[in-house]
Amino acid sequence: MQQEADHRVPVLIVGGSLVGLSMSLFLGRHGVRHTLVERHAGTSIHPRGRGNNVRTMELFRVAGIEPDIKTAASLLADNHGILQTPTLVGDAGEWLFRHIDPGGGLARFSPTAWCLCSQNDLEPVLLDSARELGGDLRYSHEMESFEQDPEGVTAVVRDRATDERYTVRADYLVAADGPRSPVRRRLGIGQTGPGDLFANVSVTFRSKLLADVVGDRRFICCYLTDPEADGALLPVDNKEQWVFHAPWHPERGETLEEFTEDRLQRHIRRAVGVPDLDVEVTGKASWRAAERVADRYTAGRVFLAGDSAHEMSPTGAFGSNTGIQDAHNLAWKLAAVLGGWAGPGLLDTYDTERRPVALATSARASARSVEHSHPGFSPAPGMRGDGPRSGILNVVLGYRYPEGAVAGADPAQPVVPDAVRLTGEPGSRAPHLWLRRSSARLSTLDLYERAMVLLSDARSTAGWHDAARRIAVTDGVRLETYRIGTGPDADLTYDEEEGTGPGDWARAYGTTTDGAVLVRPDGFVAWRAPGAVPDPVDALREVLAALLRPA
């Protein structure tokens, strides 16, 4: 007989960094009760992990925290591009890319954009928002052990402040506990990939004169390439606070103790090209870049997310973004199962969908490090990049789920296509269009969060809208339905500022006036019908059963 636990909660999250906090935020948006435990006393204090890509910002937009993140990121709002140069003195060197979105072409694909917000600034925003949504977030609490059975997971947690232990009984456990994940090791889950790539020592320092040397070059990152003092320089406030990543070679026997304050000062001065530069070291931390992906993301009622599931080279900021998107994928599925409108089989699609994305993305991250000649990285023979200015939008926004909780996707399609093609194909992120609901302007992406959504045309007589309304009432599925277009039946109309007209949504989503498109809560197209069918209720009910896998 199961011993009564001290606390009972549907979901226990282990790890309170970016991915764990995002998991808490997304579960909170779905109204799922959960507890998060994190062994550290608080959020990150080191300015790292600053690149939040457009897909991640779409998720944060829908979750309602995009304005708060932009406020937290205001100091770096005007920083763009990556510079590579032998010295910052003079105008030597070249921009690997000058602007992340030259010409503003991204607006065709998304209602938002990339945002440069350091982890130490982003995590408090996530923390506050998660707690406002009812999240039980416990810092200085460490999970020491766990056991699972067919009905749930029982964990032993220690309060590090009082040394008291207590048990938590949860339906599911999400491990966002980092690259050395004790949970993954306890489960005996192996990893695939090249392994360690390189190591750096990250140095925070203060310099009042460096801003004058940098001048008006507002870069995201500057790779300094002096063979005797290479490294990566990152601004924190563009004034006095900076970060420098210095190569570290533990494989050669080099120890962290060798990175004395004097050595770091000399290294930074030579790298910058100013022998008498004022450098006040305020902190240092070592880190290792690796390429590894867990052999599986699930084991019974336990799920891996973020670095516990995959490690990636930091170039391109793919790792943290992929982890946040893991959390988003898993959150709606947990909510659906716990809410009773999907069967436990839906949770199997988390591994099916997210693991291939990590494999493709981690390979692209390593290739990006080759392209940028990341300090300290000596790529293995045969490891190549795709050119120093190759695009990444197909990786960031165009990835797809050929298999999983989708119907009608082509399983032979690559997970990451060679170009961004957001045309409403099942398994791809739903296309963005600006619409109007009464007087409010919104993106189609703003519709997708807490329920399955069926889109149909306001002029259609195919019966999709009524079928969806009927199923939502009789079958207990969280299903919303919108008619798009013009006329008295339209729930959503076209935004005249964008010059759109009748039929545009159907063309953008790859269907017709009498067709329909079903979109998942995470904004991915689940299924689409090219036109009318004899019985839309039966057709829709059948596809929902295939997707949601009710018991």
> Mean pLDDT of residues grouped by 10 in the chain (551 residues)?
81 97 98 98 81 96 97 91 92 84 85 92 97 98 98 98 98 97 98 91 95 94 93 94 94 92 97 96 90 97 98 86 98 98 98 97 82 58 48 90 97 92 97 94 97 97 97 96 94 77 81 97 98 98 94 60
Q: Where are the alpha helices (DSSP H) in 245-347?
A: 261-272, 318-338
What is the pLDDT, as a whole number, of residue 333?
Answer: 98
What is the pLDDT, as a whole number, of residue 98?
Answer: 83
Contacts of 65 (CB under 8 A, 6+ apart): 25, 125, 126, 129
How far apart (Å, rounded) are the C-alpha atoms in residues 234 and 253? 27
Rounded (5°) CA angle 189-195-197: 150
Q: Are 121 and 73 in contact (CB under 8 A)?
A: yes
What is the pLDDT, as a whole number, of residue 481?
Answer: 98
CATH 3.30.9.10 fits 7-76+114-191+292-396, yes or no: no
* Number of Cβ atoms within 10 Å of the Cβ of 542: 13
Strand partners, 157: 143, 166
What is the pLDDT, as a whole number, of residue 551?
Answer: 60
| Fold of the domain built from segment(s) 193-290 | D-Amino Acid Oxidase; Chain A, domain 2 (3.30.9)
Q: Are 370 and 387 in contact (CB under 8 A)?
A: no
* Number of Cβ atoms within 10 Å of the Cβ of 262: 9
The class level of CATH for 434-548 reads alpha beta
- For the chain, the domains span 7-76+114-191+292-396, 193-290, 434-548
What is the pLDDT, as a whole number, of residue 417?
Answer: 93
How far apart (Å, rounded) are the C-alpha atoms in residues 68 and 65? 5
What is the pLDDT, as a whole number, of residue 521?
Answer: 98
How far apart (Å, rounded) are the C-alpha atoms in residues 408 and 420? 19
Burial 111-126 (b: 16+ CB within 10 A, else e): bbbbbbbbbbbbbebb
How far apart (Å, rounded) are the C-alpha atoms in residues 249 and 244? 16
- With residue 85 as reference, give the H or E element that holds it: strand 82-85
What are the pLDDT digits (tens) for 163-212?
Answer: 999 999 999 999 999 999 999 999 999 999 999 988 999 999 999 999 99
Of 549, 551, 537, which is closest to residue 474 (Cα–Cα)?
537
